[in-house]
Chain A
Amino acid sequence: TPTCEPETPLCCRRDHYVDFQELGWRDWILQPEGYQLNYCSGQCPPHLAGSPGIAASFHSAVFSLLKANNPWPLGTSCCVPTARRPLSLLYLDRDGNVVKTDVPDMVVEACGCS
């Protein structure tokens, strides 16, 4: 998946680091200090819609099935996450306990046109 460049209009992954300090959440999230909140943005022209090279994933297969079986408005192909990974968090709950858990689907790794 291409990482977005300023001049890239097409579907790409926009990398964005969120610092928990910036959210004012460092008092209860112990680790990590922040995380990579990537998201997908950009245009999906018709020739890229459902393109296997761009979005070869379970998600794109589902979108293709939906398109095949349902009336799908023209030009509604979207730039969507096609691969995600979990994020491990160590945080304090409201009772002051330390909790370590993996939160699924937190970090977008790849984007593609639906």
Chain B
Amino acid sequence: AQGAGSACPSCGGPTPAPQAERALVLELAKQQILEGLHLTSRPRITHPPPQAALARALRRLQPGSVAPANGEEVISFATITGPSTSACSSVLTFHLSTAQSHHLYHARLWLHVFPTLPGTLYLRIFRWSPGSGHQGSRTLLAEHQTTAPGWHALTLSSSGLRGEESPVLKLQLNCRLLEGNTTSAQQPRQLLDTAGDQRPFLELKIRPSEPGAGRARRR
């Protein structure tokens, strides 16, 4: 509605002045995008990922992959915390508030192995759920071994990731060398590159949960 005495332009009313029309269209564009993304306001990005890391991550993804109808693909960069740096053990933390109420059907963790890998690297990824006791609980999501440096994509058990209610996902990364006698001399950050542009990242494919899917499964 344009105000008293005028009608909706789509129904043959007067066309607004160009300046007013442009302002209206821009406002419409904002509302349309926010509604389409189910957002109430534009996100304020306080810690944007570095451009180089972002570009590398996007290049690593499957080319031409298209999100299914109303689905999403998410790249989340890890924040690294290490309860102990003497063992090859780190906790990768991901903030995934967008993935709530969605059905996760694909998850891959990308890790960068240093070029100076002295033997076979054995990796295990656990989902870390802080619980009672000192250790919390762990669920094994993936195992991997390699002798090749560079980027590695570890497919994670999506069933192991489901049921995560918290928007914060913690993955525990354990690694060790299978060959040679250099394990004790190798610091974790000399095997896996977890800093700067080579930060680990998680690739998720999710789709909206279908209402009634649980009922259908029960039938």
Segment with Cβ contacts to A, from B65-73, B119-127, B157-165: B65-73
Residue A53 lies at the interface, judged by CB distance under 8 Å to chain B: no
Name the residue of chain A whose CB is nearest to the CB of B32.
Answer: A106
Interface residues on B, range: 35 or more
In the complex the two chains form, is B29's CB within 8 Å of A102's CB?
Answer: no
Residue A5 lies at the interface, judged by CB distance under 8 Å to chain B: no
Smallest CB–CB gap between A111 and chain B, Å? 9
Our pick among A18, A101, A106 for the contact of B72 (Cβ within 8 Å) is A101
The B-contacting residues of A in range 1-15, CB under 8 angstroms, are none
In the complex the two chains form, is B48's CB within 8 Å of A18's CB?
Answer: no
Instruction: Please encode chain A, from 28 to 51, with 1 for each CB lying within 8 Å of some chain B CB and 0 for all others.
Output: 111000010101111111000000
The A-contacting residues of B in range 80-132, CB under 8 angstroms, are 94-98
Our pick among B30, B37, B42, B54 for the contact of A101 (Cβ within 8 Å) is B37
Our pick among A78, A93, A99, A105 for the contact of B73 (Cβ within 8 Å) is A99
In the complex the two chains form, is B97's CB within 8 Å of A100's CB?
Answer: no
A-B contact count (CB 8 A): 123
In the complex the two chains form, is B77's CB within 8 Å of A96's CB?
Answer: yes
In the complex the two chains form, is B37's CB within 8 Å of A103's CB?
Answer: yes
Our pick among B9, B33, B44, B77 for the contact of A103 (Cβ within 8 Å) is B33
Our pick among A39, A94, A103 for the contact of B97 (Cβ within 8 Å) is A94
Given that A78-B8, A78-B10 are contacting pairs, would A16 and B45 also be in contact in the complex, using a CB cutoff of 8 Å? Answer: no
In the complex the two chains form, is A41's CB within 8 Å of B25's CB?
Answer: no
Residue B15 lies at the interface, judged by CB distance under 8 Å to chain A: yes
In the complex the two chains form, is A97's CB within 8 Å of B30's CB?
Answer: no
The A-contacting residues of B in range 18-33, CB under 8 angstroms, are 25-26, 28-30, 32-33
In the complex the two chains form, is A23's CB within 8 Å of B45's CB?
Answer: no
Smallest CB–CB gap between A109 and chain B, Å? 15
Name the residue of chain B whose CB is nearest to the CB of A35.
Answer: B29
The B-contacting residues of A in range 72-111, CB under 8 angstroms, are 76-80, 87-89, 91-106
Residue B213 lies at the interface, judged by CB distance under 8 Å to chain A: no
In the complex the two chains form, is A103's CB within 8 Å of B48's CB?
Answer: no
Our pick among A96, A101, A104, A105 for the contact of B45 (Cβ within 8 Å) is A96
Residue B150 lies at the interface, judged by CB distance under 8 Å to chain A: no
15 further A-B contacts with Cβ under 8 Å, apart from A37-B32, A102-B66, A102-B67, are A22-B26, A41-B15, A42-B10, A77-B11, A79-B12, A87-B36, A88-B66, A92-B43, A94-B45, A97-B95, A98-B49, A98-B54, A99-B73, A102-B71, A103-B33
A-B contact pairs, 24 of them (CB 8 A): A22-B26, A28-B42, A39-B25, A87-B36, A88-B66, A89-B33, A89-B36, A89-B37, A91-B43, A94-B44, A95-B96, A96-B47, A96-B95, A97-B77, A97-B95, A97-B98, A99-B73, A99-B74, A100-B72, A100-B73, A101-B71, A102-B69, A104-B69, A106-B33
A-B pairs, 6 with minimum CB distance: A103-B36, A43-B12, A95-B95, A94-B43, A98-B75, A100-B73
